[in-house]
Amino acid sequence: EAQVTQNPRYLITVTGKKLTVTCSQNMNHEYMSWYRQDPGLGLRQIYYSMNVEVTDKGDVPEGYKVSRKEKRNFPLILESPSPNQTSLYFCASSLGGVTDTQYFGPGTRLTVL
């Protein structure tokens, strides 16, 4: 089944404790991105990747890192999480870019205490 998977789905952590949220797609998509969803703000893009080893900042990249060593995986790294990073995170992928249909993962709800 074509899908985008994210792990973990739920995470409660403490300030400063490094964490990684994994994202994997099985559709051979070139474009992948991370969004955070906050009430009243919609989705805001954190980082995106046009292809392997090609990543760039979105609108809210501060406090996040990403890597794209393989086409299928696009992990989101929070080196030192803070409470203002408490949010719902979505990974998405598409064949060639944003004009193509975006396929979203199920989301990761992160709470930073």
Partner 1 sequence: AQSVAQPEDQVNVAEGNPLTVKCTYSVSGNPYLFWYVQYPNRGLQFLLKYITGDNLVKGSYGFEAEFNKSQTSFHLKKPSALVSDSALYFCAVRAAPKLIFGQGTTLQVKP
**Cβ neighbours, 10 Å, residue 73:** 15
Q: Is 77 in the site for partner 1 (CB under 8 A)?
A: no
39, 81, 70, 22 alpha-carbon torsion, rounded to 10° = -60
Chosen residue from 36, 105, 110, 112 binding partner 1 by CB under 8 A: 105
Q: How many CB atoms lie within 10 A of CB 76?
A: 22
Q: Would you say 18 or 57 has its CB closer to partner 1? A: 57
Segment near partner 1 (CB under 8 A), from 11-19, 60-68, 71-79, 89-97?
89-97
Q: Which of 24, 33, 55, 93 binds partner 1 (CB under 8 A)?
A: 33
25 binds partner 1 (CB under 8 A): no
As a whole number of Å, the CA-based R_g of the chain is 13
